[in-house]
Amino acid sequence: MKSMKLKGKKLINGNSRAEEIYLELRERICLLNYEPGTILREVDLAGEFNVSRTPIRQALQRLQIEKLVETKKAVGSIVTGYSFETLKDAYEVRIQILDAVANTAHRPYNQRDIADMEKLHASAQKLARFRDLQEYWRINNQINEILGRIIDNTVLKSIHNSLYYQTARSWFQYVEKKWAENIDMLESEITEEIKPMKIGDTRGTLMVRRNYILLFLSIVDRDRLLHGTPGGQ
Protein backbone atom coordinates (compact mmCIF):
# COMPACT_ATOMS: atom_id res chain seq x y z
CA MET A 1 0.00 0.00 0.00
CA LYS A 2 1.16 3.48 -0.86
CA SER A 3 1.01 6.68 1.12
CA MET A 4 0.47 9.79 -0.99
CA LYS A 5 0.55 13.48 -0.22
CA LEU A 6 -0.47 15.95 -2.90
CA LYS A 7 -0.33 19.71 -2.83
CA GLY A 8 -3.72 21.15 -1.93
CA LYS A 9 -5.45 23.63 -4.18
CA LYS A 10 -7.32 26.69 -3.01
CA LEU A 11 -10.69 25.65 -1.69
CA ILE A 12 -13.97 27.23 -2.73
CA ASN A 13 -15.61 29.65 -0.34
CA GLY A 14 -19.16 28.99 0.83
CA ASN A 15 -18.93 25.36 1.90
CA SER A 16 -17.69 24.13 5.25
CA ARG A 17 -14.04 23.10 5.36
CA ALA A 18 -15.05 19.48 5.86
CA GLU A 19 -17.33 19.66 2.81
CA GLU A 20 -14.66 21.24 0.63
CA ILE A 21 -12.03 18.72 1.71
CA TYR A 22 -14.47 15.86 1.14
CA LEU A 23 -15.20 17.07 -2.40
CA GLU A 24 -11.49 17.46 -3.16
CA LEU A 25 -10.59 14.00 -1.84
CA ARG A 26 -13.52 12.39 -3.63
CA GLU A 27 -12.39 13.92 -6.90
CA ARG A 28 -8.83 12.67 -6.41
CA ILE A 29 -10.11 9.15 -5.74
CA CYS A 30 -12.52 9.10 -8.69
CA LEU A 31 -9.93 10.55 -11.07
CA LEU A 32 -7.49 7.88 -9.84
CA ASN A 33 -5.01 10.44 -8.53
CA TYR A 34 -5.33 8.31 -5.41
CA GLU A 35 -5.08 4.76 -6.68
CA PRO A 36 -6.57 1.78 -4.80
CA GLY A 37 -4.38 0.98 -1.83
CA THR A 38 -3.29 4.58 -1.25
CA ILE A 39 -3.18 5.41 2.47
CA LEU A 40 -4.76 8.71 3.49
CA ARG A 41 -3.44 9.75 6.90
CA GLU A 42 -5.31 12.35 8.92
CA VAL A 43 -2.14 14.10 10.07
CA ASP A 44 -0.79 14.43 6.50
CA LEU A 45 -4.09 15.75 5.13
CA ALA A 46 -4.49 18.17 8.03
CA GLY A 47 -1.07 19.60 7.21
CA GLU A 48 -1.82 19.80 3.51
CA PHE A 49 -5.12 21.63 3.96
CA ASN A 50 -3.93 23.62 6.97
CA VAL A 51 -6.80 22.51 9.21
CA SER A 52 -7.25 20.50 12.39
CA ARG A 53 -7.84 16.78 12.14
CA THR A 54 -11.58 17.18 12.86
CA PRO A 55 -12.71 18.27 9.35
CA ILE A 56 -10.34 15.69 7.85
CA ARG A 57 -11.96 12.97 9.95
CA GLN A 58 -15.42 14.15 8.93
CA ALA A 59 -14.47 14.08 5.26
CA LEU A 60 -12.97 10.60 5.52
CA GLN A 61 -16.08 9.32 7.31
CA ARG A 62 -18.22 10.44 4.37
CA LEU A 63 -15.87 8.74 1.94
CA GLN A 64 -16.09 5.57 4.03
CA ILE A 65 -19.90 5.64 3.87
CA GLU A 66 -19.60 5.88 0.08
CA LYS A 67 -17.23 2.88 0.14
CA LEU A 68 -14.43 4.89 -1.45
CA VAL A 69 -12.13 4.31 1.54
CA GLU A 70 -11.94 1.83 4.39
CA THR A 71 -10.43 2.67 7.76
CA LYS A 72 -7.96 0.40 9.56
CA LYS A 73 -6.63 1.06 13.04
CA ALA A 74 -2.97 2.06 13.23
CA VAL A 75 -2.90 2.41 9.44
CA GLY A 76 -5.33 5.10 8.31
CA SER A 77 -7.98 5.37 5.62
CA ILE A 78 -7.16 3.22 2.60
CA VAL A 79 -8.59 3.88 -0.86
CA THR A 80 -10.69 0.84 -1.73
CA GLY A 81 -10.11 -1.42 -4.69
CA TYR A 82 -12.73 -1.89 -7.37
CA SER A 83 -13.52 -3.96 -10.41
CA PHE A 84 -16.26 -4.05 -12.99
CA GLU A 85 -17.62 -7.25 -11.46
CA THR A 86 -17.90 -5.90 -7.91
CA LEU A 87 -19.62 -2.74 -9.15
CA LYS A 88 -22.31 -4.49 -11.18
CA ASP A 89 -24.68 -4.48 -8.22
CA ALA A 90 -24.20 -0.73 -7.82
CA TYR A 91 -24.98 -0.17 -11.49
CA GLU A 92 -28.13 -2.28 -11.18
CA VAL A 93 -29.34 -0.25 -8.19
CA ARG A 94 -28.63 2.98 -10.09
CA ILE A 95 -30.94 1.75 -12.82
CA GLN A 96 -33.62 0.81 -10.31
CA ILE A 97 -33.42 4.27 -8.73
CA LEU A 98 -33.83 5.92 -12.12
CA ASP A 99 -36.93 3.78 -12.69
CA ALA A 100 -38.33 4.80 -9.30
CA VAL A 101 -37.66 8.50 -9.84
CA ALA A 102 -39.17 8.37 -13.33
CA ASN A 103 -42.39 6.96 -11.86
CA THR A 104 -42.64 9.36 -8.90
CA ALA A 105 -41.15 12.69 -10.06
CA HIS A 106 -43.31 15.62 -9.01
CA ARG A 107 -42.21 18.08 -11.67
CA PRO A 108 -40.80 18.17 -15.19
CA TYR A 109 -37.40 19.64 -15.91
CA ASN A 110 -37.57 23.41 -16.24
CA GLN A 111 -35.96 25.99 -18.51
CA ARG A 112 -32.96 26.37 -16.21
CA ASP A 113 -32.33 22.62 -16.38
CA ILE A 114 -32.59 22.62 -20.16
CA ALA A 115 -30.28 25.63 -20.50
CA ASP A 116 -27.71 23.98 -18.23
CA MET A 117 -27.83 20.78 -20.30
CA GLU A 118 -27.39 22.74 -23.53
CA LYS A 119 -24.28 24.38 -22.08
CA LEU A 120 -22.92 20.95 -21.21
CA HIS A 121 -23.58 19.74 -24.75
CA ALA A 122 -21.52 22.63 -26.12
CA SER A 123 -18.72 21.75 -23.70
CA ALA A 124 -18.89 18.06 -24.65
CA GLN A 125 -18.50 18.91 -28.34
CA LYS A 126 -15.16 20.60 -27.59
CA LEU A 127 -13.82 17.39 -26.04
CA ALA A 128 -13.76 15.78 -29.47
CA ARG A 129 -10.99 18.24 -30.39
CA PHE A 130 -9.29 18.79 -27.04
CA ARG A 131 -8.76 15.82 -24.74
CA ASP A 132 -9.43 16.97 -21.17
CA LEU A 133 -10.19 14.37 -18.51
CA GLN A 134 -10.96 16.99 -15.87
CA GLU A 135 -13.54 18.58 -18.14
CA TYR A 136 -15.05 15.19 -18.97
CA TRP A 137 -15.36 14.58 -15.24
CA ARG A 138 -16.99 17.98 -14.67
CA ILE A 139 -19.54 17.45 -17.45
CA ASN A 140 -20.59 14.05 -16.17
CA ASN A 141 -20.89 15.35 -12.62
CA GLN A 142 -23.10 18.19 -13.83
CA ILE A 143 -25.34 15.81 -15.78
CA ASN A 144 -25.79 13.74 -12.65
CA GLU A 145 -26.58 16.88 -10.63
CA ILE A 146 -29.06 18.28 -13.15
CA LEU A 147 -30.95 15.02 -13.61
CA GLY A 148 -31.08 14.60 -9.84
CA ARG A 149 -32.68 18.01 -9.24
CA ILE A 150 -36.18 16.55 -9.46
CA ILE A 151 -35.53 14.04 -6.66
CA ASP A 152 -37.40 15.45 -3.65
CA ASN A 153 -36.65 12.59 -1.26
CA THR A 154 -33.36 13.47 0.45
CA VAL A 155 -32.51 9.84 1.28
CA LEU A 156 -33.11 8.72 -2.30
CA LYS A 157 -31.04 11.62 -3.62
CA SER A 158 -28.18 10.72 -1.28
CA ILE A 159 -28.21 7.10 -2.49
CA HIS A 160 -28.45 8.26 -6.12
CA ASN A 161 -25.34 10.43 -5.74
CA SER A 162 -23.40 7.90 -3.67
CA LEU A 163 -23.85 5.15 -6.25
CA TYR A 164 -22.80 7.51 -9.02
CA TYR A 165 -19.47 8.18 -7.34
CA GLN A 166 -18.99 4.53 -6.38
CA THR A 167 -19.17 3.55 -10.04
CA ALA A 168 -17.26 6.57 -11.38
CA ARG A 169 -13.77 5.06 -11.16
CA SER A 170 -14.70 2.08 -13.33
CA TRP A 171 -16.05 4.10 -16.23
CA PHE A 172 -13.47 6.86 -15.88
CA GLN A 173 -10.52 4.55 -16.40
CA TYR A 174 -12.32 2.88 -19.29
CA VAL A 175 -13.00 6.25 -20.94
CA GLU A 176 -9.27 7.04 -20.99
CA LYS A 177 -8.72 4.01 -23.21
CA LYS A 178 -11.72 4.62 -25.50
CA TRP A 179 -11.78 8.41 -25.69
CA ALA A 180 -13.36 9.06 -29.11
CA GLU A 181 -16.02 6.40 -28.66
CA ASN A 182 -17.01 7.71 -25.24
CA ILE A 183 -17.09 11.37 -26.28
CA ASP A 184 -19.48 10.41 -29.08
CA MET A 185 -21.63 8.61 -26.51
CA LEU A 186 -21.54 11.60 -24.17
CA GLU A 187 -22.67 14.02 -26.88
CA SER A 188 -25.42 11.66 -28.01
CA GLU A 189 -26.66 11.09 -24.47
CA ILE A 190 -26.98 14.81 -23.71
CA THR A 191 -28.74 15.41 -27.04
CA GLU A 192 -31.21 12.61 -26.39
CA GLU A 193 -31.86 13.80 -22.81
CA ILE A 194 -32.60 17.36 -23.91
CA LYS A 195 -35.30 16.29 -26.40
CA PRO A 196 -37.79 14.88 -23.84
CA MET A 197 -36.87 17.65 -21.39
CA LYS A 198 -38.20 20.22 -23.87
CA ILE A 199 -41.63 18.58 -24.05
CA GLY A 200 -41.96 17.98 -20.31
CA ASP A 201 -41.32 14.23 -20.54
CA THR A 202 -39.44 13.57 -17.30
CA ARG A 203 -39.74 9.81 -17.60
CA GLY A 204 -38.37 9.91 -21.13
CA THR A 205 -35.35 11.92 -19.98
CA LEU A 206 -34.50 9.47 -17.21
CA MET A 207 -35.05 6.48 -19.49
CA VAL A 208 -32.41 7.92 -21.82
CA ARG A 209 -30.00 8.05 -18.86
CA ARG A 210 -30.94 4.49 -17.91
CA ASN A 211 -30.42 3.21 -21.45
CA TYR A 212 -26.99 4.83 -21.76
CA ILE A 213 -25.88 3.17 -18.52
CA LEU A 214 -27.01 -0.17 -19.98
CA LEU A 215 -25.22 0.64 -23.25
CA PHE A 216 -21.99 1.39 -21.39
CA LEU A 217 -22.22 -1.89 -19.49
CA SER A 218 -22.83 -3.86 -22.70
CA ILE A 219 -19.82 -2.22 -24.40
CA VAL A 220 -17.58 -3.00 -21.43
CA ASP A 221 -18.84 -6.60 -21.37
CA ARG A 222 -18.07 -6.88 -25.07
CA ASP A 223 -14.52 -5.59 -24.62
CA ARG A 224 -13.93 -7.81 -21.60
CA LEU A 225 -14.79 -10.85 -23.68
CA LEU A 226 -12.54 -9.71 -26.52
CA HIS A 227 -9.58 -8.28 -24.63
CA GLY A 228 -9.95 -9.07 -20.94
CA THR A 229 -11.23 -6.80 -18.17
CA PRO A 230 -10.53 -3.08 -18.82
CA GLY A 231 -9.27 -1.12 -15.84
CA GLY A 232 -10.23 -2.31 -12.41
CA GLN A 233 -8.09 -3.53 -9.58
pLDDT digits (tens, 9 = 90+) for 151-174: 988 889 989 998 999 888 877 777
Q: What angle do CA 20, 30, 189 make, to 5 degrees?
A: 105
For residue 121, the model assigns a pLDDT of 97
For residue 13, the model assigns a pLDDT of 47
In a shared domain, residues 223 and 157: yes
Tell me the DSSP string of 66-88.
Answer: TTSEEEETTTEEEEPP--HHHHH
For residue 233, the model assigns a pLDDT of 31
Asked if the model's pLDDT at residue 9 lies above 90, the reply is no
CB atoms within 10 A of CB 138: 14
- Give the C-alpha distances (Å, rounded to integers) separating 207 from 26, 59, 96, 193, 216: 27, 33, 11, 9, 14
Q: What are residue 110's phi and psi, to 5 degrees?
A: -105, -175
pLDDT tier for residue 222 given thresholds of 50, 70 and 90 = confident
Most confident of 62-71, 86-95, 193-202: 193-202
| CATH value at residue 96 | 1.20.120.530
In a shared domain, residues 217 and 145: yes
In a shared domain, residues 46 and 106: no
Given 53, 79, 105, the domain boundary residue is 79
Q: Is the Cβ–Cβ distance between 83 and 233 less than 8 Å? A: yes
pLDDT digits (tens, 9 = 90+) for 85-125: 777 888 899 999 999 999 888 899 999 999 999 999 999 99
Given 42, 58, 79, the domain boundary residue is 79
SS3 for 181-220 is: HHHHHHHHHHHHHHHHHHCCCHHHHHHHHHHHHHHHHHHH
Can you give the residue range of the structural domain that contains 44?
2-79
- Give the C-alpha distances (Å, rounded to integers) separating 161 from 13, 49, 63, 217, 224: 22, 25, 12, 19, 27
Global pTM value: 0.82
Domain membership flag for residue 232: no
pLDDT tier for residue 228 given thresholds of 50, 70 and 90 = low
For residue 5, the model assigns a pLDDT of 46
Asked if the model's pLDDT at residue 175 lies above 90, the reply is no
Section 215-222 average pLDDT: 82
Q: Helix 17-30 to helix 53-65 angle, to the nearest 10 degrees?
A: 50
Asked if the model's pLDDT at residue 194 lies above 90, the reply is yes
For residue 4, the model assigns a pLDDT of 47
CB atoms within 10 A of CB 149: 14
Domain membership flag for residue 211: yes
In a shared domain, residues 32 and 99: no
Domain membership flag for residue 233: no
